[in-house]
Amino acid sequence: MIYLPKRRDLYPLQMFLREILTQAQAASHSDSEVALYETLVKYATIMVSTLPILCIYPFVQKHFVQGVMIGSVKG
């Protein structure tokens, strides 16, 4: 369950993606040309939302590895 605040600017990224995808799905039933455009918008939105994660991960990967090593149990 996700807590949803009243203000839309505080929504998490997943909720914005969900809104875009549901709007695209509803619009895709009207016309085949519009459906193609909406599908492309859907895929582009998903790619744009993953780009920041892909750009930041290489720089913070060493911290993840250190956390795993500190939290590991020897035995």
pLDDT at 40 over 60: yes
Closest CA to 16 of 38, 40, 48, 39: 48
* Averaged pLDDT of the chain: 77
Q: Please state, in angstroms and as integers, the Cα–Cα distance from residue 29 to each residue in 20, 33, 38, following that order.
A: 15, 10, 10
Mean pLDDT of 33-44: 77
Interatomic CA distance for residues 18 and 46, integer angstroms: 10
Residue 10 lies in a domain: no
Confidence grade of residue 27 (pLDDT, cut at 50, 70, 90): low
Confidence grade of residue 46 (pLDDT, cut at 50, 70, 90): confident
Residue 11 lies in a domain: no
- Per the structure, the count of domains in the chain is 1
Mean pLDDT of 16-45: 74
C-beta separation of 53 from 64 below 8 A: no
Neighbours of 38 (CB within 10 A): 21
pTM: 0.50
Segments forming the whole domain that contains residue 55: 32-75
- pLDDT value of residue 31: 66
